[in-house]
């Protein structure tokens, strides 16, 4: 067949080329691409003009693709509608057709582009599918022309350069294309098989089932990522706030490996975390990263949503927000989606790759302003303060003396609560060295969390009480005079709620650097990142306790503002879950009075 077409090409020239490429692009099982290789080779021998060949090939392919798209539009759409409504074909459920269409819509651009020059065999079917799914024509045309430009240049160029060997050169690209397609299918099947095994395991352990309760209360799904303890704290705080009226399920949709990797990297490769934070903190990279994560995790998210059947979704981590939004869009009935923004001074731009969530809960005025700048609709934006776990509100100062005595400490001495950094790098060793260097009797409650190495290192050390991971940490923090550690949003917030000044001794520079400004702006504590300044501050604090009480007024003012702002959370959620929330949610925002 091929020599025949090549002879036709050589005999009848450009019109023959145009016709064959056109018919091939519509979807006929002939290779128009091969003729472009041959055309390139003939051009090398002076029988054709290469530039003219390019335009002839391009126009024929684009027009053929467009005809395929139009055919899909005409014939495919009614077919899809029928498939989505029929009940006769049991192996094609309407839900799977809907899911498949949504899946295609998300990847259509890439699929159109790649099928023009790489996996050519899929070109025809993809044109039909794009038309049938009413994929926007302008987008189709854009991806089609972009791909076809490459689809013309590559074979013509290769044919021209390797003239006498163009046949063998085209065989390589054909074999490579088959390899690419086979790899894609194999990867897809690997993911499906892995997920099946995983879901089977989950079913056995009942992990997901535990999250489902047959209560009559509407279920709210809180999606978290265990990369950093702060996000879980935030989810637990929201859970405590909402569980009176709703059933709240907290689920981490990511693999356990993500948590293990984050813990490992934050202890040993802080520079890497800083680098990746900065590198992705721009709209393009943020979108790219979210797109990738959504691509990788879509099935998992869909599975969770199907299992839990939430009436509302809240995410407390940027890395799960985009995928959650996409999975939600794919559901037959979309539910309201809420983003609980996390940091205090500035959040990562991955939070704003989705701009159409139903509500954005901003913990501070600074984040509220940033979200506005990033194009989030003011009607969807709510200033709700930082949600805090109940234990931090219920722990009183009156327990301080008893707690310190139980720890074997002298209540009259300066006590520092030091976040050792179960996850994250709090630089505990450096701070302890700075405290010891003062030579003053300062007591340390060292929270080591899950960091067993740190625990072993300081267990039994004089004036240091090591505290392994405990869910009820608030009484220990409340017993101290100063809370010190990494300037995470969670730690700062918990400190001001306990009316304790916060001493920032370490940061993940890119992520938590802006939080330092927040501490200084609202006079919530001190920032001492260097051992020398830490030593000086500890000396001053030990000798002049009035420095601590000086901070109290501003801390209490911020706490009062935050607690007042927190009231807004329930109002927002209630309105989103009330029937016809679309009308009521757009009530003008009631701004909470600014803290003094």
Partner 1 sequence: MNERAKLGLLCVLWLFMLMFVVFAAANVWQAAQDFQQQYTGAKAGDVKAIRPWMTIQMISRVYNVPEDYLCSSVQIKNTDPLRHETLYTVASRKQQPVDRLISTLQHAITMYRQKQKNVTRPMQSPWFSSMFPSPVPKEIAP
Nearer to partner 1, 185 or 402 (CB): 185
45 or 292: CB nearest partner 1: 45
**CB closer to partner 1 out of 6 and 308:** 6
- Measured distance CA(578)–CA(582) in Å, rounded: 9
Alpha helix positions (H), 281-418: 283-308, 318-330, 365-373, 390-394, 400-406
| Residues contacting 46, CB < 8 A, separation 6+ | none
The least distance separating partner 1 from the CB of residue 303, rounded to whole angstroms, comes to 14
CB of 6 to partner 1, least distance (A): 5
Answer for the pair 417, 494: CB distance below 8 angstroms, yes or no. no
Shorter beta-carbon distance to partner 1: residue 6 or 478: 6
Beta carbons within 10 angstroms of residue 493's beta carbon: 28
DSSP-derived 3-state class of residue 485: strand
Q: What's the min distance (Å) between Cβ of 1 and partner 1?
A: 11
Nearer to partner 1, 46 or 244 (CB): 46
Instruction: Show the tokens assigned to 13.
Output: 């020239």
Q: Provide, rounded to whole angstroms, the least separation between the CB of residue 201 and partner 1.
A: 12
Nearer to partner 1, 184 or 459 (CB): 184
Phi and psi based region of residue 386 (left: phi greater than 0; alpha: psi -120 to 50; beta: remaining)? beta
Tell me how far apart the alpha carbons of residues 148 and 140 are, in angstroms, rounded to a whole number.
12
Token code pair at residue 124: 């025809």
Token representation of residue 375:
């194009």
Chain residues binding partner 1 by CB under 8 A are 3-4, 6-7, 10-11, 38, 41, 44-47, 160-165, 167-169, 171-172, 174-176, 178-179, 182-183, 185-186, 189-190, 192-193, 196-197, 200
3-class state of residue 421 by DSSP: coil
At its nearest, how many Å lie between partner 1 and the CB of residue 283? 36
DSSP bridge pairs for 485: 504
H helices of 206-312, where?
207-211, 229-242, 256-268, 270-280, 283-308
Q: In this structure, what are the phi and psi dihedrals at residue 58, rounded to the nearest 5 degrees?
A: -65, -50
Q: How far is the CB of 186 from partner 1 (least distance, A)?
A: 4
Give the shortest CB-156-to-partner 1 separation in angstroms: 13
**What does the alpha-carbon distance between residue 62 and residue 55 come to, in Å, rounded to a whole number?**
10
In terms of CB distance, is 168 or 215 closer to partner 1? Answer: 168
Give the residue with the Cβ less far from partner 1, 4 or 453.
4
Question: Is the torsion defined by CA of 248, 254, 256, 259 positive or negative?
Answer: negative
Give me the least distance between CB of 59 and partner 1, in Å please.
24
CA 468, distance to chain mean position in Å, is 30
């Amino acid at each position: 067949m091929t020599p025949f077409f090549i002879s036709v090409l050589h005999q009848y020239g450009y019109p023959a080329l145009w016709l064959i490429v056109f018919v091939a692009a519509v979807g006929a099982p002939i290779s128009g691409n091969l003729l472009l290789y041959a055309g390139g080779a003939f051009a090398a021998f002076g029988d054709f003009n290469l530039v003219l060949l390019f335009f002839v090939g391009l126009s024929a392919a684009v027009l053929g693709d467009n005809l395929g798209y139009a055919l899909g539009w005409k014939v495919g759409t009614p077919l899809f509608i029928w498939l989505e409504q029929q009940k006769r074909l049991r192996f094609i459920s309407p839900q799977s057709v809907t899911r498949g269409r949504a899946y295609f819509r998300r990847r259509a651009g890439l699929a159109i582009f790649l099928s023009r020059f790489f996996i050519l065999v899929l070109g025809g079917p993809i044109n039909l599918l794009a038309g049938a799914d009413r994929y926007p024509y302008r987008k189709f045309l854009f991806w089609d022309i972009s791909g076809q430009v490459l689809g013309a240049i590559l074979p013509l160029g290769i044919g021209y350069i390797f003239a006498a060997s163009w046949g063998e050169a085209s065989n390589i690209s054909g074999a490579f294309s088959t390899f690419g397609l086979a790899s894609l299918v194999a990867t897809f099947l690997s993911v499906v098989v892995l997920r099946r095994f995983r879901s089977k395991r989950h079913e056995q352990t009942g992990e997901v089932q535990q999250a489902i309760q047959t209560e009559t209360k509407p279920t709210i799904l809180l999606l978290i990522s265990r990369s950093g303890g702060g996000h879980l704290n935030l989810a637990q705080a929201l859970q405590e706030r909402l569980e009176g009226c709703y059933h709240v399920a907290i689920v981490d949709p990511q693999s356990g490996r993500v948590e293990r990797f984050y813990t490992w990297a934050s202890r040993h490769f802080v520079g890497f975390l800083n680098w990746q934070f900065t590198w992705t903190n721009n709209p393009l990279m943020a979108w790219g990263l979210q797109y990738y994560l959504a691509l990788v995790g879509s099935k998992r998210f869909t599975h969770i949503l199907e299992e839990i059947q939430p009436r509302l979704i809240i995410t407390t981590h940027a890395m799960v927000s985009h995928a959650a939004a996409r999975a939600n869009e794919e559901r037959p009935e979309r539910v309201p989606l809420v983003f609980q923004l996390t940091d205090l001074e500035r959040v990562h731009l991955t939070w704003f790759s989705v701009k159409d969530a139903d509500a954005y809960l901003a913990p501070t005025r600074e984040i509220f302003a940033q979200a506005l700048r990033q194009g989030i609709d003011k009607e969807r934006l709510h200033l709700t303060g930082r949600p805090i776990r109940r234990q931090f509100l219920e722990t009183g100062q009156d327990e301080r003396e008893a707690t310190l005595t139980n720890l074997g400490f002298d209540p009259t001495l300066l006590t520092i609560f030091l976040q050792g950094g179960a996850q994250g790098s709090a630089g505990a060793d450096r701070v302890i060295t700075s405290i010891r260097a003062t030579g003053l009797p300062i007591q340390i409650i060292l929270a080591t969390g899950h960091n067993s190495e740190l625990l072993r290192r300081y267990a039994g050390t004089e004036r240091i009480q090591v505290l392994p991971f405990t869910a009820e940490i608030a009484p220990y923090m409340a017993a101290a005079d100063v809370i010190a550690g990494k300037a995470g949003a969670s730690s700062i917030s918990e400190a001001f709620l306990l009316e304790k000044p916060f001493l920032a001794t370490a940061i993940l520079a890119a992520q938590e650097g802006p939080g330092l400004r927040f501490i200084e702006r609202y006079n919530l504590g001190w920032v001492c990142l260097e051992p020398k300044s830490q030593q000086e501050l500890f000396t001053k604090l030990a000798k002049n306790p009035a420095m601590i009480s000086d901070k109290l007024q501003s801390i209490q003012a911020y706490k009062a503002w935050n607690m007042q702002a927190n009231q807004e959370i329930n109002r927002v959620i209630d309105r989103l879950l009330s029937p016809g929330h679309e009308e009521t949610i757009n009530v003008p925002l009631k701004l909470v009075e600014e803290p003094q």
